[in-house]
Structure 1
Amino acid sequence: MTTHRHTNTPRDAKWDYDAAMADRAWWIVASCLGLCSLVHLLRIGRAQLRKRRSGVSQSTDSPRGDRGDRRSSVLVRTARAVEATWNDVVFLRTLPLWLYTTTSLAEVFWTVGYMTACILLGMYPTISHGQDWANPMGHISFHQVPLIIALAGRNNIISFLTGISILQGLGPHAKHPIGSPVVTTGIIAFVGLAMVNFTSIRFIRAAAYEVFLIAHVVFVLMFLVGCYFHFEEGNYWIWAGFVVWGLDRFLSLCKIIVGNKLWLLATSQKRDTSECLVELVSEGVMRITMARPLLHWKAGQHAFLSMPSVGGGPHEQHPFSFATVPTKESRKAVFLIKAHNGVTKRLLDHLRSESQTVPMYIDGPYGVSHDVSSYDTVLLVAGGTGITHVLSYFIAVLTQAREGNVQTRHLHLVWNTRHSSHIQWIGPLLNDALVDMPTSLSVQIDLHITKSPAGSDPDAETLCGMGETKTALPGSSDSTPVDSPILRAADNEKMVVPELKIAAPMTGLSPQATAYLRWNVGRANIAQIVQEDAKAAIGPMHVTVCGPTQLSNDTRGAVRTAGAASKVFSGQQSITFNSETFGW
């Protein structure tokens, strides 16, 4: 015998009709996510196919710059040009929405399309049956709660399936006499949702991250509780949201326990669960190294660190990007952190020396990792501490190259940084990564000193002209001699020829790692770099950038110009682009 929740009354029929509209919205969302998942799987398959072909292509020993690939059929070049046009319009063109972040048209299309679908489904009962619009819109709003919580969670299965991360939402409704419980709870839910959006504004998050974190949790709970009592017939959506949130917290707890081996707290080895080495590598910048044998992560991912000894409760976790990837030789996770206000400033003040062990706990990994090793040419662009993110990809390609599992022929790292001494941030990591390099991979590192040596930066003058040995290492540029990095002046920048000094100890670089490094004065000419690498590529090219907004926009514009559909149709290889922005 089946028990129905509603009797067959006009009100119940109306309620069921409104609920059916919400179910249709879920079908639309599921269809879109299914399509995105299919595209993601096809991209993964395409990358694996390129890798399988790498052995054949590398056996031909085709030099970089060989344009024989330009004789591809018209059909192939047309398909590539169409793909380039799609990437240009959807992913490379942006709207300057400074309030949150630079928004691509793909995000705009998704947001507008999703909101339009929800509004039309919510208004359809009003248009077709003359019903009031409040309750149908309420159903549409309530049905989104589990989806929003799922998208906002750290363990995001939607990002895993689609390779993207989306967070959208709509607001609740109210239609009852003022002062009634329905209106009161609706106002509570509305205020909670409004405050969630207000405290998420970019400059508020940057100025007071801890306040934002606590306020975000409080106002989300305020919204959910208000919704639960506002519309009891639909509160099963709220229960579903709490279940999704609880599952996300449970998975994060499991990661914390396993990653930090917390079961050792009850043994004599409890120090092994939290000890981390914190080094002050330059003014305001710290390098954190932690050994976590059970932690598995990939390039481009991040983790949340909590530091009980420097203040703050267990809830105070901050996201930081991995600067390394696990290898057979080492499973040490490294992070580069620049001190701002809050816990990072307290950590800096907590240090009593340039190197000190500090107990920390890690929660991760999180985020989507892109397989860049399937591209012929990989260009990684960074500004300041954005080097942390791209360095993990750089090391990942080098690691896979030694294993013979890459399609990449040319790996190019470009880093804009204020002082030449900043190379010490990543010096030890480059020393470990740039060993036993295969001759099939060309590696180039361009360090651009944005604070000219003609100014107040004396270090830039002491880090140039390190010897005169002319023997090139395998995989390095033929024009880059061992122990002799090149100092070049950027456009319109005065060239300064410093006194020759042996500066390897100051940089922290080994002679072998130094051979891959070129020193440049002034900011990198991103447009020229992208164009040169694109012309030399004999296969698909990938560009990743992480740094200030202006650097990201400049790189995006350079990729648009270099990867224009007309050039791809003429035979130039296609270029894919990825821009990473950190923060909340």
Structure 2
Amino acid sequence: MVHIQNMSEANALEPHWGYADRVVPCTNDPGSCAYLDVVYRSHDVGMYYTGIIWATIGGILLIWAVGRQFGRRQASGVQLPGQDGEQPKVRKSALERMRKAIPAYVRQYLLPDAARPIFGRTTRTQVLVLVVLAAYLTVWSFVGIVYGKWVTPVKNMPGVYNTRTSLGAFADRVGVLAYALTPLSIMLSSRESILSLVTRLPYQSFNFLHRWLGYIIFVQSALHTIGWCIIEIKLYQPQPLVANEWIKQLYMIWGVIAMFLLTLLLVLATPWGIRLTGYEFFRKFHYVLAMVYIGACWGHWEQLKVFLLPGLIVWFLDRAIRLVRTALLHYNFLPSGKMGFSYATADITFFSDETSGDIVRLDFEHPHDAWNVGQHFYLCFPESTIWQSHPFTPLSLPVFNANKQKHSYVFRAKKGETKRIAALSARRAERLPASEKTTSTADAKLSVVLNGPYGESVTRDLSDDTNVMCIAGGTGITYILPVLLDLAARPRTKDRRMALVWVVRHRKDLKWVAPELDALRRQARDLGLEIHIYVTRGMEESRALAPAEMVSGTTGEHEKEKDIAHEVTFAETSSSSSTHSTSLSLHGVRESDIAADHIANRPDLEKLVRDFVDANVRGRTEVFASGPGEMISELRSVVAGLNKGSEVWKGEERWDVKLTCDDRLEW
């Protein structure tokens, strides 16, 4: 806008926040002056609109925070005496019934996956939020602009005319919005997330919006770039003189660089780009590119640094807080008696598996405060590299008011850092004396650096009458076992039902978590817990459910069973006086299926979950799940089908079924 105004004839410069100063009074031709009026007015209005957008975001977060605190309060009810020895019943108020019925309605329609080819394994809820955000931004991209066309003469060039349109005002508007959304994009990607503090949603749940908001910013920037290219290369005259003078300006050079970096960010963030470069390269290069991109945006249009500076501050604060948290976790007494930074030293148990990928279990103790069940830590292994850390959920249960916390982790070596750690574990295991080795495992030591914990508690708000069903696939058992161990440590609640369903490939896989599984098995009868384990591949001896010291009792005549879903029941011999037995079943496969390496005996999740809900005496149901993406997608559809808001409104709380997944599966 500066170069079409006559600065030498200016009486004054009128400042406009976030834009170039305007010459007043306007000394151009009437058409150009009218065009300048439209452009400057639409920009000023657009800056107000960005304030409205951020006020809307702040208002939603405020309402969310207040509503969350209000929702934690239990609505009052009128207690009615029970009849014929029944427990007293509670007549729920309309507010309490509505508070429970609305989430059930929402889960019924919005919990399943949306269009998977476009959005991946993402719930309809997140896609709905994205659609609302995109529609909201679309409205602000067009309103407040006077649309018109002005054909104006070029000074000192008879017969040559400029074409002024509202395309310039629109291109500026979407460019401003792209700048205004930059801090939000960074907030959505932060591990130390203020959004998580307000909403109590884990920071991982914002990854989807971060990715798609990046796409929106790219589209806005592309429209801004295309719009001004049309104006400066086609509509302004004479050409190519105007275009050459325009592109040589410093702010335009920075604009071209910013658009190139943003395009590179987009391409490398696609699934194709991540597979091509590797996730770790993508993640670190993404950080660097993002910061350089913001710097280029600053060079392109410094007047809008009001949006860029907060983004930089949020990014650097996120990294600084991570370092501080790590330092505080590891600032302890050293063997010399002095205080300093000390690693945690983990015992490695290595499970060789050439077909599916080796398994590594880490066990160590470290002095720090207890975390909440469901939270995870980032683990860095300095003996491999200090530039990478990976998220892992502790298998062990936190102990409050303890001097040290026990950490146990189980993960499968796939590629990258986990594969290097498995290889390092295998090499160290080979160096151990033969007397310290076993047929399937070997112990060694590994230095570990912790960062965290991150995420939210998944058991804090479980009421005493909530029925719990835990479903895991493979190493996903590390996410759900702490839930059951935590509930096992609480007083038993009458009529509460619990179930564990674990799908593994081989029977030997049960050794990964043998101590924890054994602890649950001993308490299963008292907890009302059923344990079902499905083996999809492999054929081992029929009694090999776990190490010998874990299994006791009889197995029945299951050796004669040839069905794909035969069951092995272990009686609890230590409590023979009880009339109940621990229900712990192992579902296997036929030998003919194994010969063809056929994945047999995969559980029917819909039947399992539906039967569990149908058998509940009272109370709502919470399903905890962690495993392959296919399992999570299937469970979302199953749980959505079980939610019935109308029945919950009538007081039938068992149709209030919630699904809590390990959100890190989206990474």
The TM-score, its normalising length taken from structure 2, stands at 0.70
Does residue 520 in structure 1 map to residue 587 in structure 2? yes
User: Which stretch shows the higher mean deviation, 183-192 or 428-437?
Assistant: 428-437
1:464 Cα deviation after fit: 9.1
Equivalent of residue 398 in structure 1, options 482, 485, 488? 488
Question: What pairs up with 1:235-254 in 2 under 5 angstroms?
Answer: 235-254=305-324
Whether the aligned pair in 1 keeps the contact of 2:374 and 2:482 (CA below 8 Å) is yes
Equivalent of residue 379 in structure 2, options 301, 305, 317? 305
Whether the aligned pair in 2 keeps the contact of 1:278 and 1:286 (CA below 8 Å) is yes
Q: 1:348 to 1:580 in 2, by over 3 A?
A: same
Q: 1:72 to 1:335 in 2, by over 3 A?
A: same
Q: 1:45 to 1:290 in 2, by over 3 A?
A: farther
Whether the aligned pair in 2 keeps the contact of 1:462 and 1:501 (CA below 8 Å) is no
1:53-100 CA-to-partner distances (Å, cap 9, x unmatched) read: 9xx99x99999xx9997998999778755542222112x232142466
Q: 1:525 to 1:24 in 2, by over 3 A?
A: same
1:321-350 CA-to-partner distances (Å, cap 9, x unmatched) read: 222331156611222111011111111111
Does residue 364 in structure 1 map to residue 455 in structure 2? no
Question: What pairs up with 1:205-284 in 2 under 5 angstroms?
Answer: 205=274, 208-261=278-331, 264=334, 272-283=342-353, 284=358
Does residue 373 in structure 1 map to residue 462 in structure 2? yes
User: Which stretch shows the higher mean deviation, 269-278 or 218-227?
Assistant: 269-278
Whether the aligned pair in 2 keeps the contact of 1:70 and 1:572 (CA below 8 Å) is no
Q: Which has the larger radius of gyration?
A: 2
1:256 Cα deviation after fit: 0.2
Partner of 2:9: none
Whether the aligned pair in 1 keeps the contact of 2:525 and 2:582 (CA below 8 Å) is no
Distance in 2 of aligned mates of 1:136 and 1:304: 41
Partner of 2:47: 19
Distance in 1 of aligned mates of 2:562 and 2:94: 42
Whether the aligned pair in 2 keeps the contact of 1:488 and 1:519 (CA below 8 Å) is no
1:361 Cα deviation after fit: 0.5
Q: Which amino acid aligns with 2:632?
A: S
Distance in 2 of aligned mates of 1:333 and 1:37: 32
Q: Which amino acid aligns with 2:630?
A: Q
Distance in 1 of aligned mates of 2:254 and 2:332: 42
Whether the aligned pair in 1 keeps the contact of 2:567 and 2:586 (CA below 8 Å) is no
Distance in 2 of aligned mates of 1:287 and 1:108: 37
1:129-183 CA-to-partner distances (Å, cap 9, x unmatched) read: 9561111212211111222112211111212211333233223333364454334
1:498-557 CA-to-partner distances (Å, cap 9, x unmatched) read: 9x999x9xxxxxxxxx94532123222211221122121401111122111221122122
Whether the aligned pair in 1 keeps the contact of 2:524 and 2:582 (CA below 8 Å) is no
Q: Which amino acid aligns with 1:87?
A: R
Distance in 2 of aligned mates of 1:126 and 1:424: 67
1:364 Cα deviation after fit: 0.8
Whether the aligned pair in 2 keeps the contact of 1:155 and 1:248 (CA below 8 Å) is yes
Does residue 531 in structure 1 map to residue 610 in structure 2? yes
1:560 Cα deviation after fit: 2.4
Partner of 2:545: 463
Q: Which amino acid aligns with 2:329?
A: G
Distance in 2 of aligned mates of 1:35 and 1:28: 10
1:118 Cα deviation after fit: 1.7
Partner of 2:65: 37
Distance in 1 of aligned mates of 2:15 and 2:307: 18
Q: 1:127 to 1:396 in 2, by over 3 A?
A: farther
Equivalent of residue 421 in structure 1, options 493, 508, 527? 508
Distance in 2 of aligned mates of 1:346 and 1:418: 23
Whether the aligned pair in 2 keeps the contact of 1:186 and 1:227 (CA below 8 Å) is yes
Whether the aligned pair in 2 keeps the contact of 1:303 and 1:363 (CA below 8 Å) is yes
1:493 Cα deviation after fit: 4.7
Distance in 1 of aligned mates of 2:506 and 2:544: 11
Q: Which amino acid aligns with 2:374?
A: G
Distance in 2 of aligned mates of 1:102 and 1:364: 26
Distance in 2 of aligned mates of 1:448 and 1:123: 56
Distance in 1 of aligned mates of 2:335 and 2:495: 44
Secondary structure of 2:640's counterpart equals helix
Equivalent of residue 534 in structure 2, options 427, 430, 448? 448
Partner of 2:473: 383
Distance in 2 of aligned mates of 1:211 and 1:62: 68
Distance in 2 of aligned mates of 1:324 and 1:428: 10
Partner of 2:163: none
Partner of 1:108: 127
Question: What pairs up with 1:324-363 in 2 under 5 angstroms?
Answer: 324-328=396-400, 331-351=405-425, 352-353=428-429, 354-363=442-451
Equivalent of residue 552 in structure 1, options 613, 616, 632? 632
Distance in 2 of aligned mates of 1:274 and 1:384: 26
Q: 1:486 to 1:294 in 2, by over 3 A?
A: farther
Partner of 1:192: 261
Q: 1:411 to 1:205 in 2, by over 3 A?
A: farther
Distance in 1 of aligned mates of 2:374 and 2:97: 31
Does residue 578 in structure 1 map to residue 663 in structure 2? no
Distance in 1 of aligned mates of 2:84 and 2:256: 67
Distance in 2 of aligned mates of 1:155 and 1:317: 15
Partner of 1:152: 189
1:282 Cα deviation after fit: 4.6
Partner of 2:593: none
Q: 1:139 to 1:87 in 2, by over 3 A?
A: same
Partner of 2:178: 141
1:263 Cα deviation after fit: 7.4
Q: 1:35 to 1:501 in 2, by over 3 A?
A: closer
Whether the aligned pair in 2 keeps the contact of 1:125 and 1:136 (CA below 8 Å) is no
Distance in 2 of aligned mates of 1:367 and 1:238: 28
The TM-score, its normalising length taken from structure 1, stands at 0.80
Whether the aligned pair in 2 keeps the contact of 1:464 and 1:487 (CA below 8 Å) is no
Whether the aligned pair in 2 keeps the contact of 1:142 and 1:238 (CA below 8 Å) is yes
Q: 1:449 to 1:71 in 2, by over 3 A?
A: farther
Distance in 1 of aligned mates of 2:257 and 2:317: 26
Partner of 1:123: 142
Q: 1:387 to 1:496 in 2, by over 3 A?
A: closer
Distance in 2 of aligned mates of 1:487 and 1:163: 50
1:219 Cα deviation after fit: 2.0
Distance in 2 of aligned mates of 1:395 and 1:214: 37
1:391 Cα deviation after fit: 1.9
Question: What pairs up with 1:45-84 in 2 under 5 angstroms?
Answer: 45-46=73-74, 81-84=101-104
Whether the aligned pair in 2 keeps the contact of 1:381 and 1:390 (CA below 8 Å) is yes
Whether the aligned pair in 1 keeps the contact of 2:370 and 2:399 (CA below 8 Å) is no
1:128 Cα deviation after fit: 7.2
1:296 Cα deviation after fit: 3.4
1:33 Cα deviation after fit: 2.1
Whether the aligned pair in 2 keeps the contact of 1:372 and 1:393 (CA below 8 Å) is no
Q: 1:421 to 1:112 in 2, by over 3 A?
A: same
Distance in 2 of aligned mates of 1:487 and 1:192: 67
Q: Give the paired residue count.
A: 537
Q: Which amino acid aligns with 2:605?
A: I
Q: Which amino acid aligns with 1:217?
A: Y
1:369-412 CA-to-partner distances (Å, cap 9, x unmatched) read: 3236325201111111111112222222223x15x7x7982221
Q: 1:38 to 1:524 in 2, by over 3 A?
A: farther
Q: Which amino acid aligns with 1:391?
A: L
Secondary structure of 1:447's counterpart equals strand
Secondary structure of 1:519's counterpart equals strand
